[in-house]
Amino acid sequence: MYRLFFIIPSFLLLSLPTIAQSKKEVKKNKIKISAVAKTEEGKTINESKTVYDKNGNEIETIDYTKEGSVKSINMLKYNNEGDEIEDLEYNGKNELVEKKVSKYNMLGEKTEEDFYDADNKLTKKNIYTYDNKGLKTQKTTYDAQGKVLTIKKFTYIFK
C-alpha cells in the first residue's frame, strides 16, 4: 500500500503536461508557445511544440520522432472569424506534403475541405451538409476526379 501511494501521484504529475490548453486559456494567459517533452533514462526528448497567435489560434505545430528529430510541421491560417482556412503540412525535411484549404458558409459552418499534394494538385475533397438547426448531417469525400469515396452520415437523438 505504501508503494501505491507514491505511484499514483507520480502518474498524475506525468500526465498533467500532456493536457492541451483550450483556445480561451491560451488567449487569457497570453501563451505564445507550448511544448511537450518527456524524460526517459535521463534523456529529455521533445514530443511536440505549438506556437499561438494573439487570438489563441494554433499557427504552427511541430511533432517530433521518438529520437527527437522533426517528424512534421503544420502551418495554419485563419479567417477573421477565427475559422481555420489553410493547413500546410511539411515533413521533417521541410518539404510540403499536403495543403488543406477549408471553406465556410455565411453561418460559419465548414462546407468544404480541399486537399492538395506538393504539386498543388487536388487529391481529395470533403463536402459537409447541415440541417436547418446547423447540425452536421453528412460528410462526403470525393477523389480528385469527383468520384465518391465515402459518405458519413450524422444522426442526433433529442429529448
Cα 4 to chain center, whole Å?
A: 36
Beta bridge partners of 14: none
Number of helices (H) and strands (E) in the chain: give both, helices first.
2, 10
Q: What is the pLDDT of residue 20?
A: 64
Please name the helix (run of DSSP H) or strand (run of DSSP E) that holds residue 30, with its range, or none. Answer: none
pLDDT digits (tens, 9 = 90+) for 67-85: 889 999 999 999 999 999 9
Rounded to an integer, what distance in angstroms lies between the CA atom of residue 103 and that of residue 77?
Answer: 12
| pTM of the predicted model as reported, rounded to 2 decimal places | 0.80
pLDDT digits (tens, 9 = 90+) for 123-147: 999 999 999 999 999 999 999 999 9
| Of residues 68 and 11, more confidently modeled | 68
Rounded to an integer, what distance in angstroms lies between the CA atom of residue 77 and that of residue 56?
Answer: 12
pLDDT at 6 over 50: no
Mean pLDDT of 98-106: 97
| Of residues 79 and 20, more confidently modeled | 79
pLDDT digits (tens, 9 = 90+) for 26-56: 989 999 999 999 998 899 999 999 999 999 9
Rounded to an integer, what distance in angstroms lies between the CA atom of residue 37 and that of residue 107?
Answer: 39
Q: What is the pLDDT of residue 5?
A: 40
User: On the CB side of 4, how many CA atoms lie within 13 Å of its CA?
Assistant: 1
34 neighbors 19 (Cβ within 8 angstroms): no
pLDDT at 11 over 70: no
In the chain the domains, ranked by start, together with CATH numbers, are 2-153 (2.40.128)
